[in-house]
C-alpha cells in the first residue's frame, strides 16, 4: 500500500455499485466514510483524511471521537487537492442523535464509549 492511500475505518457504499472484485473503490462510488479517532490518529483523522475525502467529493465524512465523546459529521465537499474541505460541519456529543442526510438515517450515539485517561485535544477546528 502506498503512503498516500487513505484507509478509512468504515466505508458506506450502495451495494448495487460495488465492483465485482478489488479492494480499492473510486471515491465517486462512496456515500460516506467513517473514521474512529484513537490516541494516535487525532490529527490524521481530523485534518489529513478530511482533506483527502473532501478532494474526492465524498458526500459525508463522519468522525467518531471517543477522546472527546463526540461525533463530527462533515458534509458539502468543495475544492480540489490540498485546498479541498467540507463546508458543512455538525458536532453532536455522544448520547445525542445525529441526522445523516446522505443516508436518510438518524444515528443513535447513546451506546458509544469513550477512551479513559486520554488527554483532550483541540479538534475539530472551527
**In tens digits, what is the pLDDT along the chain, a chain of 126 residues?**
345 567 899 999 988 888 777 677 889 999 999 999 999 999 999 999 999 999 999 999 999 999 999 999 999 999 998 899 999 999 999 999 999 999 999 999 999 999 988 899 999 876
Burial class (CB in 10 A: 0-12, 13-18, 19+), 68: buried
pLDDT recorded at residue 3:
52
pLDDT recorded at residue 4:
58
CA distance 37 to 35: 6
Q: What is the pTM of this model?
A: 0.91
pLDDT recorded at residue 1:
39
pLDDT recorded at residue 72:
98
3-class DSSP assignment, residue 48: helix
Query: In this structure, how many other beta carbons lie within 10 angstroms of the beta carbon of residue 41?
Result: 15
Residue with cell 441526522: 99
CA distance 10 to 33: 6
Domains, in order of start, for the chain: 10-14+27-107 (3.90.1570.10)
Amino acid at each position: 500500500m502506498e503512503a498516500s492511500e487513505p484507509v478509512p475505518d468504515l466505508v458506506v457504499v450502495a451495494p448495487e455499485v460495488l465492483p465485482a472484485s478489488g479492494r480499492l473503490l473510486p471515491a465517486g462510488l462512496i456515500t460516506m466514510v467513517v473514521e474512529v479517532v484513537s490516541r494516535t490518529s487525532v490529527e490524521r483523522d481530523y485534518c489529513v483524511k478530511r482533506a483527502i475525502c473532501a478532494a474526492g467529493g465524498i458526500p459525508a465524512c463522519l468522525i467518531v471521537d471517543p477522546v472527546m465523546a463526540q461525533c463530527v459529521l462533515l458534509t458539502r465537499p468543495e475544492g480540489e487537492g490540498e485546498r479541498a474541505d467540507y463546508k458543512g460541519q455538525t458536532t453532536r456529543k455522544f448520547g445525542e442523535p445525529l441526522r445523516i442526510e446522505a443516508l436518510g438515517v438518524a444515528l443513535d450515539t447513546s451506546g458509544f464509549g469513550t477512551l479513559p485517561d486520554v488527554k483532550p485535544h483541540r479538534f475539530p477546528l472551527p
